[in-house]
Amino acid sequence: MRRVFLVFIATFVCAAVTDGNVPIVVETGDAKRNVMKLCSDASEQLRNGDVASAKRNINEALRIDPKLWPALYVRAEIFAREGKYELAIQDCNEALRQNRNFIDVALLRANINVALRKYAEASKEFNSLIALRPPTVILARALSERAWFQATCPEASFRNGQQAVKDAKAACSIVAWKDEDMIDTLAAACAETGDFDSAMHYAQQALAIKDISPRVAKRIHGHIALFQQHKPIRS
Q: What is the pLDDT of residues 184-200, one digit of tens each?
A: 999 999 999 999 999 99
Confidence of residue 32 (pLDDT cuts 50, 70, 90): confident
Q: Convert the pLDDT of each residue in 198-228 to its tens digit.
A: 999 999 999 999 999 998 999 999 999 999 9
Q: Coil, helix or strand for 234?
A: coil
Q: Convert the pLDDT of each residue in 33-61 to its tens digit.
A: 889 999 999 999 998 889 999 999 999 99
Confidence of residue 29 (pLDDT cuts 50, 70, 90): low
Q: Convert the pLDDT of each residue in 104-161 to its tens digit.
A: 999 999 999 999 999 999 999 999 999 999 999 999 999 999 999 999 999 999 999 9
CATH 1.25.40.10 domain range(s) in the chain: 1-116
- Helix (H) / strand (E) element for 233: namely none
- Separation of CA 1 from chain center: 11
Domain 143-235 has CATH 1.25.40: yes
**Cβ atoms within 10 A of the Cβ of 208, count?**
10
User: What's the CATH fold of domain 1-116?
Assistant: 1.25.40
Q: Convert the pLDDT of each residue in 7-21 to its tens digit.
A: 444 333 223 333 433
Give, in order, the Cα–Cα distances in Å from 26 to each of 70, 79, 227: 9, 24, 45
